[in-house]
Structure 1
Amino acid sequence: MSRVFFLVPLVLLSACKPPASDEYVERSRIAPITEGPSEPMDSPDTTGAIWAPGKRPDRLLYGKPGDRPLLAIECIHDAQTSRVVYTRFAPADPHAKAVLALIGNSHVSRLKIDATETNGAWLWQAETDALDPALDVLTGARKVEATVPGAGSVILNPSRLPGDLIERCRAQAAPAPEASESPAPSPPKGRA
């Protein structure tokens, strides 16, 4: 019986205070509260959307005439490289990284694409070497589906303009053939 009286104060004492782990979680956060990713966007309606030249040479915009563009591609050429910059005009979470999946013209390509801050807004943008075979998906005359996770799929209606731009960009990237002033020496002949 004396054991029971001895245990009663211990039981009462333990009932007064919650377990340490619960108290710790209430007093301080283990990890900071962060906002989750943005809600996924619906895929835009691309009925009547077309490729059109931009204000800068070697830039194409894709969208419905009179509306904001959905996608852009541009050839950037300098002394050492030619590259294609591609932009998906859709809101992106700051510093996010994703893959632009392109399906069409008998190709499936995946290009990296990152959230890039432009004039205070975060958009999806990246670039690749003009000679990258992943761009072949845009060089045909059939429709292409371009998808960025969370930014929906954009159906790129058939057009020769993207392929023409990429081929011009590739031509600038290719080294000029060197003119040979003298014929190449012939290999030495073996003894008979």
Structure 2
Amino acid sequence: MDRRLIALFAIIALPAVLGGCRPPATDRYVERLDLDSGQGPTHVLTSSPDVAGAIWAVSRTPNRIVYGIPGNAPLLALACTGKDSARTLEITRFAAADRNAKAIMALIGNGHVERLPIDAKDNGRGWLWQGSYPADLPALDAFTGARKLELTIPGAGTLAINPSPQPAELIETCRRLAQPDPAVIPVPELETEKPTQTIVPKAEPTPPT
């Protein structure tokens, strides 16, 4: 065969050969949530963190507790923030998140199946998952039971939370702080009752006899 024909054939066949060498598309599916930004998390944990031996501990910050294995970085934190009736419970999941990402956090356990919005927040060193909720929100009761709770965020895996009375104590304290202090509630002044005036009828004159 003429060399020029062989070269032409090779040029035509080259794209097909290269196309056949491409690796197949990955079949790993990452769920993306269609929320306000239209962008879901792309940081994905391949497995849920090991929580064997994980406990709740009081933080140096007042009204804040952290959950994790002693000696390791914390996995979760609960904090009562705000003042007076504006008290909120802040939940921080220490897992990498994309900038400005949004997701739905699921809480399953203790007789509850709750879903709460949660956003990615920059803590100065990276983007983590964090959400703030009114202290009296009934969905937070999922933390107050005596059984294990599962907290799931798409892309951050499922965090199993071992039972402890500390979350319930913190939430109860936060709700109590959100209530107005009876000692400073203004008491409305009662209208002073005006004394009634007794009218004595005049005696009629006795007719002359």
TM-score by length of 2: 0.67
Verify the 8 A CA contact 2:40 2:103 in the aligned structure 1: no
Q: Which runs of 5+ in 2 are unaligned?
A: 1-38, 192-209
1:122-178 Cα shifts (integer Å, max 9, x gaps): 100010110111101001111100000110000000100000000000001122344
Query: For 1:94, what is the secondary structure of its paired residue?
Result: coil
1:22 matched residue in structure 2: none
- Give yes or no for the alignment of 1:133 onto 2:133: no
Query: For 2:139, what is the secondary structure of its paired residue?
Result: helix
- Give yes or no for the alignment of 1:169 onto 2:167: no
- Give yes or no for the alignment of 1:83 onto 2:92: no
2:200 matched residue in structure 1: none
- Give yes or no for the alignment of 1:148 onto 2:160: no
- What displacement does 1:180 show? 4.9
**Counterpart amino acid of residue 42 in structure 2:** S
- What displacement does 1:44 show? 0.3
* C-alpha distance 136-36 of structure 1, shift in aligned 2 (>3 A): closer
- What displacement does 1:43 show? 0.6
Q: How does 1:10-49 map to 2 (within 5 A)?
A: 37-41=41-45, 42-49=47-54
- Give yes or no for the alignment of 1:118 onto 2:129: no
- Give yes or no for the alignment of 1:157 onto 2:151: no
Query: For 1:170, what is the secondary structure of its paired residue?
Result: helix
**Counterpart amino acid of residue 67 in structure 1:** N
Structure number with larger C-alpha Rg: 2
- What displacement does 1:97 show? 0.2
Q: How does 1:62-73 map to 2 (within 5 A)?
A: 62-73=67-78
Verify the 8 A CA contact 1:77 1:169 in the aligned structure 2: no
CA distance in 2, matches of 1:150, 1:52: 26
Identity of aligned residues (%): 49
Q: Which runs of 5+ in 1 are unaligned?
A: 1-34, 185-192
Two-structure CA RMSD over aligned residues (Å)? 2.1
TM-score by length of 1: 0.72
* C-alpha distance 125-36 of structure 1, shift in aligned 2 (>3 A): closer
Equivalent of 1:98 in 103, 109, 114: 103
How many residue pairs get aligned? The number is: 150
2:64 matched residue in structure 1: 59
Verify the 8 A CA contact 1:44 1:154 in the aligned structure 2: yes
CA distance in 2, matches of 1:171, 1:114: 27
Verify the 8 A CA contact 1:77 1:172 in the aligned structure 2: no
CA distance in 2, matches of 1:174, 1:134: 18
2:18 matched residue in structure 1: none
CA distance in 2, matches of 1:82, 1:60: 16
CA distance in 1, matches of 2:62, 2:41: 36
